[in-house]
Amino acid sequence: MCNKPNNRFSRTPPARGGTGTDGVKINTVAKRRESQRRRLQKTPEQQRDLVSPWLRRWHGLTGLYAVFLTLLLWLPNPKVLLWGWEPSDETSGYVHLMTFALLGLMVELGRRKKSRGTWFGILVFYAFFTECVQHYLPIRGFEFRDILQDILGLILGVTAGWAAYRTMGIWTATGLGRET
């Protein structure tokens, strides 16, 4: 008689994720997860194609508005771009507030998932930077009041975009649901 125990009863189970004695993979859950991870990895061209055409147009429109706003803030005489209209001292604050509120709204509606804080920081830097550059331009000047109005406008715009998303169910930049 052989002192070897019967192989069917003496075999020890393989380590997790290892291969059994017959060569079959034991952990199929890990295998499925790896396959899903590989399937979700996209090349930059494939990732660009995931962004819908309307969203690319929206990003382009937002960029054009930012360029227009920069020109308004940096030109010595912005009424050239506004068909002769020039805001008075009383309405100047409202103009800053509304232009930056529109910028905040456009960025909020076109942003990607989980990036509100990053974009808000970029927009606050933009408001501060444009106001600092005005210090070196002729006829223009640095005013702390303008920075506060710009930031308040950004807060209003981002809040309006968030409320529009919440109440009207506006689609997000990814085309899927968005976590706040």
Helix boundaries (H) for the chain = 7-10, 28-40, 44-50, 53-74, 89-110, 116-134, 144-168
Task: State how far the alpha carbon of 86 is from the alpha carbons of 35, 91, 137, 146, 149, in Å.
Answer: 61, 9, 18, 16, 18
Mean pLDDT by 10 residues, the chain (180 residues): 52 53 60 70 61 78 92 78 66 82 90 80 94 87 89 94 76 47
53 is written with which tokens? 């055409």
Neighbours of 18 (CB within 10 A): 10
39 is written with which tokens? 């399937």
Per-residue model confidence (pLDDT) at position 43: 63
Q: Is 167 strand, coil or helix? A: helix
Q: Is 17 in contact with 27 (CB distance < 8 Å)? A: yes
Q: Indicate yes or no: pTM above 0.85.
A: no
Q: Is 144 strand, coil or helix? A: helix
Separation of alpha carbons 8 and 159, rounded Å: 67
Per-residue model confidence (pLDDT) at position 176: 44
